[in-house]
């Protein structure tokens, strides 16, 4: 199977995820029914969010910290599910533009001088994306299984812990079990799209940087000066895509930080305050993994975008024509601006932020432990 078909199959899968969340496979064009179809998954996530909020108010009055922590996990998960489904629905066209741009780059026939470098980077990038996706899928599925089992052992004997009046026990059980997997897979869908796009932009920045480094060789620069013009256009496009990517995930990354803070803080408190709970360790791992992937990817994007400036300085630019020197100067100027992800325009998505979230979570956990 060729690299082009590998990418095509994988991004068809990502398109399927978006279409499934939007329920685009149901052909309804009438105005009112069209919006009911689009709002189906967000409304379900919002309902579970309201139900778990009600559960939290009830158990807070009773002082049941185990059930409160358990409810907070589903509260956080349903909030994430709601925001991520809204993002996938609202920004579908932007995501499709990203996918088309990615497929165009994969299909581009580069010169023999750099084709091997580009193909290796793209292949490594797709493999890394699949590893990340498989890792979070396995761990998140195992965590939800543990949470559902714990919910079944609670006084209400329900997967999400709450109990809906006017419904039978089996009605509650079926609805909440469906809700648990709905929350899981909508959260995973949002994470899948984010990781796939961010890692491809990383790969594209590496491709640009590696080709630029080849211009350190005078013979290569003289024979392949046309590549510099192509790289100039690629660099301009990837910076535009990074800016659009930042706009899509402007608020979602901030929500992810808040959600992860509560998860890490409360599950750490649970582990210290109560007997060992397997589900608490699993949720703690999920919270750390989500935040780690987000911050690591943000750090990588910033680093790879900045690396282009260094690569340009190392070229034999002084041996080139004036027109090509001007292109390099423009690229250096563009690379000077920091490109990364900024959560709500307030917090840099970086490894430093990951450490700060852990420190803040542990500090508040210590306060909770002292008060309790």
Please, what are the averages of pLDDT over each run of 10 residues along the chain (372 residues)?
A: 82 90 76 78 89 83 74 86 91 91 84 82 89 91 86 74 80 85 89 91 87 78 77 84 88 86 83 73 86 87 79 74 76 71 79 88 82 67
- How much is the pLDDT for 234? 85
Six-digit token string for 75 = 């509260």
CB atoms within 10 A of CB 51: 22
- How much is the pLDDT for 344? 75
Closest residue by Cα to residue 76 from 293, 263, 274, 211: 263
Exposed / middle / buried, residue 243 (Cβ in 10 Å: 0-12, 13-18, 19+): exposed
- How much is the pLDDT for 338? 65
Q: What HEC string does 162-188 produce? A: CCCCCCCHHHHHHHHHHHHHHHHHHHH
Q: Tell me the C-alpha distance between 180 and 155, whole Å.
A: 18
Closest residue by Cα to residue 283 from 45, 47, 76, 42: 76
- How much is the pLDDT for 138? 92
- How much is the pLDDT for 77? 87
In the beta sheet, which residues pair with residue 348?
342
Six-digit token string for 92 = 């579908």
Q: Tell me the C-alpha distance between 353 and 172, whole Å.
A: 40
Six-digit token string for 128 = 């890394």
CB atoms within 10 A of CB 293: 20
Q: Find tokens 């039978």 and name the residue.
A: 168
Six-digit token string for 28 = 């309804």
Burial 107-141, CB ≥16 within 10 A → b, else e: eeebeeebeebbeebbeebbeebeebbeebeeebe
- Its pTM stands at 0.88
| Region of residue 23 (phi > 0: left; psi between -120 and 50: alpha; otherwise: beta) | left
CB atoms within 10 A of CB 37: 18
- How much is the pLDDT for 134? 92
- How much is the pLDDT for 84? 92
In the beta sheet, which residues pair with residue 203?
none
Six-digit token string for 11 = 């991004």
Q: Tell me the C-alpha distance between 168 and 364, whole Å.
A: 40
3-state secondary structure of 321: coil
Contact 365, 268 (CB under 8 A): yes
- How much is the pLDDT for 1? 56
In angstroms, what CA-CA distances link 268 with 43, 195, 262, 288?
A: 31, 26, 10, 11
DSSP 342: E
Q: Tell me the C-alpha distance between 229 and 192, whole Å.
A: 33
3-state secondary structure of 269: helix
- How much is the pLDDT for 156? 66
Contact 239, 301 (CB under 8 A): no
- How much is the pLDDT for 168? 84
Closest residue by Cα to residue 200 from 97, 296, 122, 295: 122
Q: Domain extents for the chain?
A: 3-371
Closest residue by Cα to residue 241 from 211, 205, 206, 210: 205
């Amino acid at each position: 199977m060729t690299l082009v078909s590998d990418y095509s199959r994988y991004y068809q899968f990502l398109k399927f995820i978006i279409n499934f969340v939007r329920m685009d496979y149901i052909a309804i064009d009438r105005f009112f029914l069209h919006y009911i179809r689009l709002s189906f998954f967000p409304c379900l996530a919002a309902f579970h969010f309201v139900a778990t909020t009600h559960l939290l108010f009830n158990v807070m009055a009773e002082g049941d910290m185990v059930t409160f922590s358990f409810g907070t996990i589903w509260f956080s998960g349903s909030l994430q599910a709601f925001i991520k489904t809204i993002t996938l629905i609202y920004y579908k066209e932007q995501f499709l533009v990203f996918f088309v741009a990615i497929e165009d780059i994969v299909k581009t026939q580069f010169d023999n001088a750099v084709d091997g470098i580009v193909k290796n980077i793209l292949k490594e990038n797709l493999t890394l994306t699949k590893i990340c996706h498989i890792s979070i899928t396995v761990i998140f599925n195992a965590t939800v299984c543990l949470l559902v089992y714990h919910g079944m052992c609670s006084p209400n004997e329900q997967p999400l812990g709450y109990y809906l009046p006017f419904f039978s026990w089996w009605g509650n059980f079926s609805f909440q079990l469906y809700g648990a997997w709905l929350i899981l897979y909508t959260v995973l869908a949002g994470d899948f799209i984010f990781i796939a796009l961010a890692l491809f932009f990383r790969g594209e920045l590496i491709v640009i940087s590696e080709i630029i480094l080849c211009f350190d060789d005078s013979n290569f620069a003289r024979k392949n000066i046309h590549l510099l013009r192509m790289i100039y256009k690629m660099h301009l496009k990837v910076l535009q895509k990074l800016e659009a990517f930042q706009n899509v995930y402007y608020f979602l990354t901030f929500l992810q930080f808040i959600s992860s803070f509560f998860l890490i803080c409360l599950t750490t408190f649970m582990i210290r305050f109560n007997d060992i709970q397997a589900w608490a360790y699993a949720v703690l791992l999920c919270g750390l993994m989500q935040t780690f992937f987000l911050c690591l990817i943000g750090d990588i994007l910033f680093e790879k975008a900045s690396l282009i400036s260094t690569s340009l300085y190392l070229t034999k630019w002084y041996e080139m024509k004036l027109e090509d020197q001007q292109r390099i100067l423009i690229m250096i100027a563009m690379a000077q601006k920091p490109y990364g992800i900024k959560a709500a325009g307030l917090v840099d998505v970086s490894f430093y932020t990951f450490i700060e979230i852990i420190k803040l979570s542990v500090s508040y956990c210590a306060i909770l432990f002292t008060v309790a």
